[in-house]
Structure 1
Amino acid sequence: MSTPIDTSDEILSGEAVAIDVQPLGFFMRALGALIDMALGWVLFLLFLWLRMWLMGLGVIDGSIDSILAVVMLVVCFVIVPIVIETAMRGRSLGKLAVGGRIVRLDGGAAGFRHAFIRALIGVLEVYMTFGAVAMLAGAFTARSQRLGDMVAGTYSQRVRTPKLISLVPVMPPALAGWAQIADVARMPDRLARRISQFLQHAERMTPSARARIAHELVVATAEYVSPQPAAHPEQLLIAITVLRRERERRALSIADARAEKLTGRHVGV
């Protein structure tokens, strides 16, 4: 029986293809929100200084002072966030700093409607409560969603990922004979990525965690590999990766050869 693959961070595209995405962590999202809040308050203080300066010059009448104050609040904390998030396709200065982007729950790009809902509710949960409601909501949701995200159907997706070190696996000598008769079927992309990521980071794992994860991955590949050799789990994962790479390389070579034949026939015609 294979180990179930965790799909909590997967979404389905319109073609029913699983896409592996990662939501932005709670602390990184809170940091981005603090940056956006600070910029909003700086903008408001600039507007406040400009109002006082214009009042000192007699340009603004005191009778419209209260109306102007409300307008400044709406512009700084509602209109400006909506415009920035819509124009930057789910990004803001704070999100740029922490590597996040607001997207729909299905992974699609967020639009004006989503930004409008988030900004309106953000006045209550971010500014009127100094972020307390947003922090409570984010701490108890799987994707660190605040109330505005829940209503708008959005979350903050991580778009800045660490650069992975390329790894070219080599067939273990002990499994060279098995590789001549092995049949490795196509695996789910999620499982193949897990194997690749494990092999890239195995050297930095503790021995117990390394052995446990290798065993779990071998169990998960049991229905796709025949026959199952009696080998060290990590060596078997390397051998499976090498066989999959060679199979994909052969498939590409066959496709290229067919394309060359078709091209030659068209030229001859």
Structure 2
Amino acid sequence: MSGVVTGDAVVLGLQPARLPSRALALVIDLAVIMVVYMAISLGLLLLTLSLDEAALAAVNVAAFVLVLVGAPIAVETLTHGRSLGKLACGLRVVRDDGGPIRFRHALVRGAMGVVEILMTSGVVAVIASLVSERGRRLGDVFAGTLVVRERVATSAGMMLPPPPPWLAGRFTGLDLSAVPDGLWLEIRQYLTRMRQLDPAVGQRMADRLANELVARTGAPPPPGVPAAAYLAGVVAERQAREAHRAFAAHPVPGAVPGPVPGAGAGFVPTYATPAAPPAVPTAPVVPVVPAAASAPADPPAPATGFAPPA
């Protein structure tokens, strides 16, 4: 697996996508785009029947540019590099340093895609991807981007470090809904490799990621919390919420949910063991004694009768 090298000379564990998966994603994207283009063209044809040939040609060119060129650029910009085809194949477009792309990256990729994909039926893009070490086409080379795989097996040695214990419960009220997946990916990659980095490089990366996270959440970290500890605490809080939702959706049969702790560090939902049912009182067992042994024999009755007279 070849890595992605950031601007700080840090190798990230991103696996570049190869030609087969990229081709499949492109076929899905082109199929969706062509369906949308044909539907829009049919609608425009019905609406512009009264126009002359020059106006019809202008409308068709505008529809071609907006749908076949503008739509992919807009989708990649808004989704930070994940079109419908890339989402289905588990791919994403990122910068050379592993960060999310922006409009200028999507614009260059889309403009070059018209030449190397649409005008040449993809021949130029295929040749460039086969020649490139990381499978990049010309649009990626000029835009400074790379298509990577998101669905990769997680190594056992790349576990996230736990946050400091004194950060327990500090991020329970943090709103994480606006944090994109690309930023979570960057933070996880940094946390799994921060012990392997040069201290100065690692500090710069932690500060940059912490600033981006604060901008997304709108809440600064607590005073005196280092950037790396802040990132670890927020990631642990996100994992705690996902684990809580998973356990709530799929409860353990026969288990009674116990109290859910609010600590963000090392949160594991706990389940109380059901109490044993109270014992049902039973009547004491009375031993059965034979009748002959239970009571003494009656004394003999006195003799009755008349004595003869003297």
Output the TM-score relative to the length of structure 1. 0.55
Structure 2 equivalent of residue 155 of structure 1 = 146
Once residues 123 and 117 of structure 1 are traced to their aligned partners in structure 2, the CA distance between those partners, rounded to angstroms, is 10
Q: Per-residue CA shift, 1:20-43, capped at 9, x if unaligned?
A: 110112100111011111112111
Aligned pair partner of 1:25 in 18, 31, 42: 18
Deviation at 1:164, TM superposition (A): 6.5
Once residues 93 and 189 of structure 1 are traced to their aligned partners in structure 2, the CA distance between those partners, rounded to angstroms, is 36
Q: Which has the larger radius of gyration?
A: 2
Equivalences for 1:95-110 in 2 at 5 Å?
A: 95-110=86-101
- Relative to structure 1, the CA distance from residue 10 to residue 85 in structure 2 (aligned partners, 3 Å threshold; closer, same or farther) is closer
Letter in 2 for 1:53: L
- Relative to structure 1, the CA distance from residue 12 to residue 165 in structure 2 (aligned partners, 3 Å threshold; closer, same or farther) is closer
Matched position secondary structure for 2:16? coil
Q: Confirm or deny: 8 A CA contact 1:55 1:62 kept in the other structure.
A: no
Structure 1 equivalent of residue 3 of structure 2 = 9
Structure 2 equivalent of residue 120 of structure 1 = 111
Q: Confirm or deny: 8 A CA contact 1:126 1:132 kept in the other structure.
A: yes
**Structure 1: gaps (5+ residues):** 1-6, 167-187, 191-269
Q: Which has the higher helix share?
A: 1
Q: Per-residue CA shift, 1:28-62, capped at 9, x if unaligned?
A: 01110111111121111111111222234x4x554
Structure 2 equivalent of residue 144 of structure 1 = 135
Matched position secondary structure for 2:92? strand
Matched position secondary structure for 2:47? helix
Does residue 132 of structure 2 align to residue 132 of structure 1?
no
Does residue 62 of structure 2 align to residue 71 of structure 1?
yes
Deviation at 1:159, TM superposition (A): 0.7
Once residues 161 and 69 of structure 1 are traced to their aligned partners in structure 2, the CA distance between those partners, rounded to angstroms, is 42
Matched position secondary structure for 1:91? coil
- Relative to structure 1, the CA distance from residue 165 to residue 121 in structure 2 (aligned partners, 3 Å threshold; closer, same or farther) is same
Equivalences for 1:1-269 in 2 at 5 Å?
A: 8-12=2-6, 14=8, 17-56=10-49, 58=50, 60-162=51-153
Q: Confirm or deny: 8 A CA contact 1:9 1:20 kept in the other structure.
A: yes
Q: Confirm or deny: 8 A CA contact 1:24 1:144 kept in the other structure.
A: yes
Matched position secondary structure for 1:101? strand
Letter in 2 for 1:11: V
Once residues 163 and 22 of structure 1 are traced to their aligned partners in structure 2, the CA distance between those partners, rounded to angstroms, is 12
Q: Per-residue CA shift, 1:157-202, capped at 9, x if unaligned?
A: 1111246689xxxxxxxxxxxxxxxxxxxxx969xxxxxxxxxxxx
Deviation at 1:17, TM superposition (A): 4.1
**Structure 2: gaps (5+ residues):** 158-194, 198-310
Identity of aligned residues (%): 38
Deviation at 1:155, TM superposition (A): 1.0
Higher RCO (C-alpha under 8 Å, 6+ residues apart): 1
Once residues 104 and 43 of structure 1 are traced to their aligned partners in structure 2, the CA distance between those partners, rounded to angstroms, is 29
Q: Per-residue CA shift, 1:105-149, capped at 9, x if unaligned?
A: 111111100000000110111111111111111111111111101
Letter in 1 for 2:78: A
Once residues 93 and 72 of structure 2 are traced to their aligned partners in structure 1, the CA distance between those partners, rounded to angstroms, is 12
Output the TM-score relative to the length of structure 2. 0.48
Matched position secondary structure for 1:107? coil
- Relative to structure 1, the CA distance from residue 164 to residue 107 in structure 2 (aligned partners, 3 Å threshold; closer, same or farther) is closer
